[in-house]
Chains A and B, each alone.
Chain A
Amino acid sequence: GQNIDQPTEMTATEGAIVQINCTYQTSGFNGLFWYQQHAGEAPTFLSYNVLDGLEEKGRFSSFLSRSKGYSYLLLKELQMKDSASYLCAVRVRGGSYIPTFGRGTSLIVHP
């Protein structure tokens, strides 16, 4: 199986930058997803990394290092609405390529 580790909770200030880390231990790595989930709502897709490097999408960027089993999600110019849980999910080759989720990082943005 996969072992996925994320910090449980982080706090940051509106307008600042925050980096949410995700480490994983798995064999047959086939991609990593980041999802955002507001309380009581469905997870929504943010980014997908399968190759090493940085993927940038507006205020959000995601980085992957396959050799280190490490990814991070970078959120810039934080807004209050960014307060949410951020879920890291890893997919492995073989079988049906089903993503396994970490427990999520609860981000609290304060004024």
Chain B
Amino acid sequence: DTGVSQDPRHKITKRGQNVTFRCDPISEHNRLYWYRQTLGQGPEFLTYFQNEAQLEKSRLLSDRFSAERPKGSFSTLEIQRTEQGDSAMYLCASSLETESPLHFGNGTRLTVT
């Protein structure tokens, strides 16, 4: 069990640029979640995959955000035309079953200048 890994750890980008983050979940976990967290707040749900199927998306997720999990293993989260309000920690988590706890990665900290 190597844990959930995310890449990169930090990303600084200029407003209007596109960014892509990667998440590698724990290998036997078929459930994968993306959350966003800003300072002083709890994680806010963005989207959820079961295997390769994207089953839920938050209503807060604008159409500039897209996520994929093409083979049911790693996942990518892309933000197009970044805005300063996108600056946050993007957390990926995975779990084995519905009732299992989520295991989080260390996150990707995005700063949009």
Contacts and interface: CB of A to CB of B under 8 A. Distances in A.
Nearest to B56: A96
B42 A103 contact: yes
Interface string B96-113: 001101111111000000
Contacts of A43: 43, 91, 104
B45 interface: yes
Interface string B2-16: 001000000000000
Chain A interface, >50% SS class: loop
B107 A42 contact: yes
Given A41-B106, A42-B104, A42-B107, A98 B45 contact: yes
Interface in A71-111: 87, 89, 95-104, 106
Interface residue tally on A, bucketed by range: 20 to 34
Contact of A101 (B4, B44, B50): B44
Interface in B54-113: 55-56, 91, 98-99, 101-107
A44 to B, nearest CB: 7
Given A96-B55, A98-B48, A87 B43 contact: yes
Contacts of A97: 98-99
26 contacts: A33-B102, A42-B91, A42-B104, A42-B107, A43-B43, A43-B91, A43-B104, A44-B104, A45-B101, A45-B102, A45-B103, A48-B101, A87-B42, A87-B43, A89-B42, A96-B98, A98-B48, A98-B56, A99-B45, A100-B45, A101-B42, A103-B41, A103-B42, A104-B40, A104-B41, A104-B42
Interface of B: 4, 33, 35, 40-45, 48, 50, 55-56, 91, 98-99, 101-107
